[in-house]
């Protein structure tokens, strides 16, 4: 009998997967541990999911690591998260480089410490020439911030006379979004049982298939990812068009 893993390797796959990695704190609390222990466990899961996406030939993976709103969490938890980012970069980036992963970060870098900003720049520079999986990490990121900063740059063009306000199109906004250089996500995954987007890639998720898993992020393994990919393959994506009753029943876009 075919397994979810078999299906994932043979069915239509998304080009770009975006994931909200939710549930680290609850995972730790359920085990009588501090929330920060869940964040550390989540790093191991992230490594496995990145590896699986690379194995499957997925082109782009965007992970929501720390939102604009997460700055409102307790100061000690935010501090541990920032330390984890620095540790993970130091530990993981060389392995990502060996695996041909191109690593980039999106978000308000100015809010991050100078040390973390430096680590981010070094990681991006090291992996810039790699042609495998493009891995985007959203840190200090919010979808509304992303749209605002794009609108601000378009407004600057209007102010300097290089663009007329009447000529502004969706493409002008899109060209200044954080992920303008890659296709929009085909599949959005959120773990942890919550069923909301939470200010993640608001512009880019307009036509993504939405998949919600009850698994907490530290428990979200490769077979769980394969289940999400099988869900995606079962969808018929029409992008507002009239459905073709004689066409394929699976996703029209890989």
Question: Would you please indicate which residues are annotated as catalytic (active-site) residues?
Answer: 22, 70
Kindly tell me the number of DSSP H helices and DSSP E strands found in the chain: 8, 6
**Shortest CA distance to 5 belongs to which of 60, 61, 55, 62?**
55
Q: How many CB atoms lie within 10 A of CB 90?
A: 12
Length in residues, the chain: 254
- What angle, 0 to 180 degrees and rounded to 10, lies between the N-to-C axes of helices 75-98 and 35-56? 20
What are 19's strand-pairing partners? 63, 189
**Axis crossing angle, helix 114-127 with helix 75-98, rounded to the nearest 10:** 20
* Helix, strand, or coil (residue 238): coil
As a whole number of Å, the CA-based R_g of the chain is 19
- 35: phi then psi, degrees, rounded to nearest 5: -55, -35
d(CA 224, CA 230): 10
Q: SS3 string of 65-83?
A: EEEHHHHHCCHHHHHHHHH
């Amino acid at each position: 009998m075919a397994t979810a893993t078999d299906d994932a390797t043979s069915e239509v796959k998304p080009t770009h997967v975006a994931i909200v990695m939710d549930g680290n704190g609850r995972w730790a609390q359920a085990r009588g541990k501090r929330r920060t222990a869940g964040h550390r466990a989540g790093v191991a899961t992230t490594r496995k999911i990145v590896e699986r996406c690379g194995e499957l030939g997925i082109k782009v993976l965007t992970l929501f690591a720390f939102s604009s709103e997460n700055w409102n969490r307790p100061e000690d938890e935010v501090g541990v998260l920032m330390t984890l980012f620095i540790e993970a970069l130091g530990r993981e980036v060389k392995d990502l480089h060996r695996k041909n992963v191109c690593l980039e970060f999106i978000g308000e870098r100015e809010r991050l410490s100078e040390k973390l900003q430096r680590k981010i720049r070094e990681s991006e520079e090291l992996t810039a020439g790699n042609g495998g999986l493009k891995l985007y990490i959203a840190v200090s990121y919010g979808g509304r911030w992303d749209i605002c900063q794009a609108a601000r740059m378009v407004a600057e063009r209007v102010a300097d006379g290089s663009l007329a306000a009447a000529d502004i199109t969706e493409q002008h906004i899109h060209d200044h979004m954080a992920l303008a250089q890659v296709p929009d996500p085909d599949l959005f995954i959120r773990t942890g049982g919550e069923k909301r987007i939470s200010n993640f890639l608001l512009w880019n998720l307009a036509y993504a298939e939405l998949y919600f898993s009850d698994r907490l992020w530290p428990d979200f393994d490769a077979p769980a990812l394969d289940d999400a990919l099988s869900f995606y393959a079962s969808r018929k994506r029409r992008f507002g068009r009239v459905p073709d009753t004689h066409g394929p029943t699976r996703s029209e876009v890989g």
